[in-house]
């Protein structure tokens, strides 16, 4: 993945060095804005006088039938969902196998967040929705969240949401990037903590509940001709420990028999409109 420059070197030279010179050595000026962020996709630094940017407006990107993703809300009033079976014995890996020891020679730990997500797209326990090719750039800056309406046959579940930039099938300048799926942001919510991290509680089986997955802030430009993808899964191993999917007071004390396959459903109706909220900047 090419970000156009050595961003770490630039940051140390243009931000850290002037900052410490100003505050520790009384050397100025310090022309830093309230927020200086690197905008992926365009690979440039942007300055904002507030964070999140005041001009950003939330837009909902909805899940639809047939793996479609659209800014139009769903209209179905009957039962409409996509489902998958999550098996703790066969979790979705967070990077391609074999997963090397984190800091071993040849380990890809340092670049896993920029890895091509096509390695899991075809798995039956990973659900995928994608937009049509964008007719204009979509630029986001600020806080993101996913509102997942889901049900499970179990009494606990993890919900992993990944926001992905899908490159065009053909990229003449860099052919190896054709169809590349770059994870722009991702986060996980353990269902038992849906209301409180201090007071976990089991999930009622087969009941549709809304889960809010708080995704880390991001600044990114989805280019014209690219597509926006959302992937939902219930394991991200071994980045996160496996959920038994049957409620136990402490997962660390779970017995082998507690780990069971469960069927999860992601709902996409007018009443249960699963969607991701994007902080979109005006053109």
d(CA 238, CA 247): 20
Q: What pLDDT shows up at residue 100?
A: 83
List the alpha helices (DSSP H) in 70-158: 118-121
Question: Domain total for the chain?
Answer: 1
Q: What pLDDT shows up at residue 210?
A: 98
Phi, psi angles (nearest 5°) of residue 251: -65, -30
**pLDDT tens digits along 176-192:** 999 999 999 999 999 99
Q: Residue 5's pLDDT band (boundaries 50, 70, 90)?
A: confident
| Burial of 205 from C-beta contacts in 10 A (0-12 / 13-18 / 19+) | exposed
Position of tokens 């890895």? Answer: 115
Q: Taking a C-beta distance cutoff of 8 angstroms, is the pair 166, 229 a contact? A: yes
Position of tokens 């990037």? Answer: 177
Which residue range forms the structural domain that includes residue 85? 55-280
Asked if residue 216 belongs to a domain, the reply is yes
d(CA 107, CA 263): 34
d(CA 183, CA 160): 12
Q: Share the mean pLDDT of the chain.
A: 96
Q: Residue 6's pLDDT band (boundaries 50, 70, 90)?
A: confident
Asked if residue 86 belongs to a domain, the reply is yes
Asked if residue 125 belongs to a domain, the reply is yes
d(CA 197, CA 280): 30
Asked if residue 29 belongs to a domain, the reply is no
Nearest CA among 78, 90, 82 for reference residue 128: 82
d(CA 1, CA 26): 39
Compute CA 112 distance to the chain's CA centroid, rounded to the nearest angstrom: 13
Nearest CA among 212, 228, 266 for reference residue 69: 228
Q: Residue 232's pLDDT band (boundaries 50, 70, 90)?
A: very high
Asked if residue 42 belongs to a domain, the reply is no
Asked if residue 10 belongs to a domain, the reply is no
Does this model's pTM top 0.85? My answer is yes
d(CA 39, CA 46): 7
Q: What is the CATH number of the domain that holds 83?
A: 2.60.120.260
Asked if residue 165 belongs to a domain, the reply is yes
The mean per-residue pLDDT over the stretch 256-278 comes to 98
d(CA 163, CA 230): 5
Q: Taking a C-beta distance cutoff of 8 angstroms, is the pair 109, 102 a contact? A: yes
Asked if residue 9 belongs to a domain, the reply is no
d(CA 282, CA 279): 10
């Amino acid at each position: 993945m090419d970000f156009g420059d050595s961003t770490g070197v630039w940051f140390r030279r243009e931000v850290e060095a002037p900052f410490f010179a100003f505050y520790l050595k009384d050397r100025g000026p310090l022309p830093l804005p309230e927020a200086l962020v690197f905008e992926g996709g365009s690979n440039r630094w942007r300055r904002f006088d507030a964070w999140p940017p005041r001009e950003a407006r939330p837009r909902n990107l909805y899940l639809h039938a047939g793996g479609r993703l659209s800014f139009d809300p769903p209209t179905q009033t009957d039962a409409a969902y996509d489902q998958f079976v999550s098996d703790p014995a066969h979790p979705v890996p967070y990077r391609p196998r074999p997963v090397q020891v984190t800091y071993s020679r040849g380990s890809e730990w340092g670049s896993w967040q920029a890895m091509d997500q096509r390695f899991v797209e075809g798995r039956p326990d990973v659900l995928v929705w994608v937009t049509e090719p964008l007719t204009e750039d979509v630029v986001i800056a600020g806080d993101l969240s996913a509102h997942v309406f889901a049900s499970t046959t179990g009494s606990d579940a993890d919900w992993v949401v990944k926001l992905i930039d899908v490159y065009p099938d053909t990229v003449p300048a860099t052919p190896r990037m054709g169809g590349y799926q770059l994870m722009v942001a991702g986060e996980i919510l353990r269902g038992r903590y849906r209301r409180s991290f201090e007071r976990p509680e089991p999930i009622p089986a087969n009941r549709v509940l809304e889960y809010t997955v708080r995704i880390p802030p991001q600044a990114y430009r989805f280019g014209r001709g690219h597509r926006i993808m959302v992937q939902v899964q219930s394991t991200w191993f071994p980045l996160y420990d496996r959920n038994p999917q049957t409620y136990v007071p402490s997962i660390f004390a779970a017995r082998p028999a507690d780990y069971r396959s469960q069927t999860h459903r992601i709902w996409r109706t007018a009443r249960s409109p699963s969607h991701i909220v994007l902080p979109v900047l005006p053109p």
